[in-house]
Amino acid sequence: MKVIGINASPRGNESNTLKLVNAVLEGAKAEGGAETELVDLYKLHIEYCTACGTCYQSGECTLLDDFPDLFDRIMNVDGIVLGAPNFIDSVPAPMKAMFDRMADAIHCQMLTGKYGCSVCTAGGSNQDWVVGYMNRVLTTLGATAIGDVGVAIGRDPGALGLAIQDAYKMGEKLARSIRGEHKYPEQDEIHRQKRDYFCQLVKYNKDRWPHEYEWHVKMGWIQ
């Protein structure tokens, strides 16, 4: 069992959000013996998507930066933990840049079969919007979102300690989910509908997007 934590705070080891990401990883390690790795997104160089469409066509990106290696690492794990501080009611720019580079992965539902969860710290509010957004992105990519932990710490620094405990428990649940011990029928249905939708889209664009067509055929989603 492999789990990757991706934290998007500019504050490196001082990041409060990092404490939550690490707690999830610790929980997954304790419950499932997960092999874990941590990525500080601010240490990577991730360019903005240029919407050239080459990835739809060939599966390759024309930009030369750290994204392809990061995506290979994501494809190599069973569980993904996303961490972000609330930056103006959304995720920090590097996290959004990473998401925007995954349009091909969304068309191909490349995170199918993986499990994920999200954590956020905020100064004052709307941490739930941010974790909700990150979990929706995971679901849109084909992964199953097993939970979230969001906490506002500006006026209650003690809240972080409780959130760390919740994050640890969520890590345990992540490991159990990967082992197949939790069922998510509602998300299974959402994934079925998304696969159907993207199958139709990819079939319609078969000549322009040969890589995506071949992916869907290889997965057995297009007969």
Ligand X SMILES: Cc1cc2nc3c(=O)[nH]c(=O)nc-3n(C[C@H](O)[C@H](O)[C@H](O)COP(=O)(O)O)c2cc1C
- Residues lying near ligand X in the complex (CB under 6 A): 9, 11, 15-17, 85-89, 121-126, 153
In the bound state with ligand X, the residue whose beta carbon lies nearer, of 103 and 160, is 160
Nearest distance in Å: CB 151, ligand X = 8
Nearest distance in Å: CB 168, ligand X = 17
In the bound state with ligand X, the residue whose beta carbon lies nearer, of 9 and 135, is 9
Nearest distance in Å: CB 31, ligand X = 24
Say how far apart CA 68 and CA 115 lie, in whole Å. 20
How far CA 78 is from CA of 5, 82, 186, 193, in Å, comes to 11, 13, 20, 22
Q: Which two tokens stand for residue 187?
A: 């998300």
In the bound state with ligand X, the residue whose beta carbon lies nearer, of 5 and 85, is 85
Nearest distance in Å: CB 19, ligand X = 8
In the bound state with ligand X, the residue whose beta carbon lies nearer, of 9 and 118, is 9
Sign of CA dihedral 185, 186, 188, 192: positive
Which among 160, 139, 157 has a CA at the least distance from the CA of 149?
Answer: 160
**What is the gyration radius of the CA atoms in the chain, in angstroms?**
17
